Amino acid sequence: MTTELIIVRHGKTAWNLEGRLQGQQDTDLHPIGVKQAEALAERLQHEPFAAIYSSDLKRAAQTAEPIAKLKQQPIILHSGLRERNFGVFEGKTRTELETQFPEEWDKFHRYDPDYAMPNGVSLREFYKHGIECLEKIAKKHLGERVLVVTHGGLLGGLLRHTLGIPYSTPSGYQGVNTAINIFAFANNAWTLKTWGDASHLREIE
């Protein structure tokens, strides 16, 4: 049996707009992000979901709230769906990181999947745990469709894993905030069905 997962990156936050690395810092949605979440809910309101999962960070849970309210379903919060822990990089802009942590920032941009910044985790470790979490959800809901609200890092990791894109390649697969991405899971393998459907965001600046 196949599980269909609609996986969505959270709505925009002030730190997204400021270019700050969020990681596991618990930021709220920006008003634009709230509008994105509401547009997503309207888009998905007639789609059936066996369950609605979300990262337990506020920006993800707040994105899931409008659709959960419309469908009168609970949100299942899961810490395994969190963004990568970026350690000392969190809360900083690119300019601040280049100034405050020049050597570590340079190492980060060599795209070594086993590199971990101080107090953070490596890309490989992050992907391993995050994809394992998604697979557990998929196996729990065989033959069903579920909605998952998570973060750009994990979404990009699943895309790389599914398409066989090396982890050592530059990033850029995090997806548009609240765009719809559809993955299928069957026989312990992932398939990508839809990537980056943001048609519901056309009226939002």
Catalytic residue among 4, 38, 65, 83: 83
3-class SS of residue 196: strand
Tokens representing residue 28 in the block: 């709220």
Report how far residue 80's alpha carbon sits from residue 92's, in angstroms, rounded to the nearest whole number.
24
Catalytic residue list contains 83: yes
Binding-site entries for substrate = 9-16, 59
Binding-site entries = 9-16, 59
Catalytic residue among 4, 10, 78, 200: 10
Place of tokens 């990089």: 89
Sign of CA pseudo-dihedral 62, 25, 56, 155: positive
Burial of 142 (0-12, 13-18, 19+ CB in 10 A): exposed
Q: From edge to edge, which strands make up the β-sheet containing 189-197? A: 75-78, 51-55, 145-150, 3-9, 180-186, 189-197
Residues 6+ apart with CB under 8 A from 149: 8, 9, 10, 52, 53, 54, 55, 60, 61, 63, 64, 81
Query: Catalytic positions, please?
Result: 10, 83
